[in-house]
Chains A and B, each alone.
Chain A
Amino acid sequence: MSSIDLLRFNTSGSVDDGKSTLIGRLLYDSKSLMEDQIEALERSADITGGGQINLANLTDGLRAEREQGITIDVAYRYFATPRRKFIIADTPGHVQYTRNMVTGASTANLSIVLVDARAGVIEQSRRHTAIASLLQIPHVIVAVNKMDLVDWSEARFNEIRDEF
């Protein structure tokens, strides 16, 4: 049997910076979503009112999370490519759930810190980066998200990079 590696990573950053959406997208694009999961997503589309499919519903597995539209506790998701198997921890962004964020981040080899391009580097971005460093996570990626909402401005991107 061919031997494949394992990469464990977590997504962090403040509430609404796009953690769950990024994971939903990775699962969707790697064809790791099954038909019944997509169906369940469609069925639940109305719970937060919008009537639109919300990829965040994939990882917000608890009723309270779906109703309030927030992530309370870490959710784990799995996908694989021919070369690698991935374990993702979708960790909560609210400061009062930091202990759950730390739980999910503690076993990661890589931490992705999401930053909303409009808001830039904020307290939670710094807190989560500091936690990644305290936990000695070997790799950290800062991902500037929602670039569409700043008209893909390279100047804004560079500003955030420099601030970091």
Chain B
Amino acid sequence: MPTDYHIDHLQHLESEAIHIMREVAGEFERPALLFSGGKDSICLLRLAEKAFRPSDIPMPFLNVDTGHHFPELNEFRDRRAKELGGKLIVRKVEDAIAKGIAVPAPGEISRNKLQIPTLLAAIDEFRFDACIGGARRDEEKARAKERFFSFRDSFGQWDPKNQRPELWNLYNGRLNEGENMRIFPLSNWTEMDVWQYIKREKLEVPSIYFSHRRTCVRRHGQWLPVTDILPPRAGERVEEVTVRVRTIGDIISTGCVESPATNYDDIIAEIAAARVTERGSRADDKASEAAMEDRKKQGYF
């Protein structure tokens, strides 16, 4: 450890995030922490430990399971939640469809949009007044506009043209009945910061972030994993490739990147040299320039 009082950029981001975690615990009655098992939410859990230990983390972990998750991700999610002694709540898109809460459009295979009503129903069910998420402003340009404390009306909707002032490190948590807050402690973190933090804190991540062999097809310039829900189309060649995932979405929309990275340093070097953003490998964001803004307005996190 350095012996001077110099705060480097990771420590600065860490203290900002820990402060926000504590604000949430102080200002809200029924907060939840969205935990998917992905790299950003892994950082959130470490920050929660730093904010609240030796006490229990004073909020349950919530995950919306689309049914299209990578199995490695769910295994990691369940194990990590247990290790931390946290209460993990999982709500499944399948169940929401069965109950008529989420209604797929004819022929709609993607579960991406169906996550929204599933999440809103979970917020309703547990009457959560605040949900902490791992979204970062550098991911996407609609996200670049969002406050740390992002107000949602009683329909779970975000109004980007009417956001609250948020000065210095003062956060306004005022809500009326039925309204809720989405809270993003990692707002100012970049993909690089996340990996540097994971390395510094020696945090375990799901194995699929590292290089492995996977059966894929080449589609729209990306390697997509071949599974029962994503069979190869006529004329597509199935190949064994050495890949890793850079961002984890659903298994049907997450493009894998060819990579030999087997440890944190390899990943950090790879990101430093990258010429596309991490969301460049997510089909859900390519839909249109305002794809993310539109989903967020409907209640996406």
Which residues of A pack against B, CB within 8 Å? 1, 3-6, 34-37, 40, 43-44, 47, 58-59, 61-64, 66, 72-78, 80, 85, 87, 99-100, 102-103, 106-107
**Could you write out 14 A-B pairs with CB less than 8 Å apart?**
A1-B199, A4-B8, A4-B9, A6-B13, A34-B274, A34-B276, A36-B279, A73-B161, A76-B188, A78-B138, A100-B163, A103-B166, A106-B168, A107-B168
Mark out the residues of chain B between 153 and 169 whose CB falls within 8 Å of any chain A CB in the assembled complex: 160-161, 163, 165-169
Contacts of B196 in A (CB 8 A): 1
Contacts of B143 in A (CB 8 A): 61
Which residues of B pack against A, CB within 8 Å? 2, 6, 8-9, 12-13, 137-138, 140-145, 147, 160-161, 163, 165-169, 187-188, 190, 192-193, 196, 199-200, 274-277, 279-280, 289-290, 293
CB of B144 within 8 A of CB of A99, answer: no
A interface: dominant SS: mixed
CB of B275 within 8 A of CB of A34, answer: yes
Q: In the complex the two chains form, what is the Cα distance from A75 to B139 in whole Å?
A: 12
Q: A73-B145, A73-B163 are in contact. Are A87 and B293 (CB under 8 A)?
A: no
Most chain B CB atoms below 10 A, which of A4, A44, A76, A106: A76
* A-B contacts, CB under 8 A, total: 93
Contacts of A72 in B (CB 8 A): 160-161
Point out the residue from A40, A47, A77 that lies within 8 Å of B144, measured CB to CB: A77
**Shortest Cβ distance from A87 into B: residue:** B188
Q: In the complex the two chains form, what is the Cα distance from A157 to B12 in whole Å?
A: 38
CB of A35 within 8 A of CB of B275, answer: yes
In whole Å, how far is B263's beta carbon from the nearest beta carbon of chain A? Answer: 14
**Shortest Cβ distance from A43 into B: residue:** B289
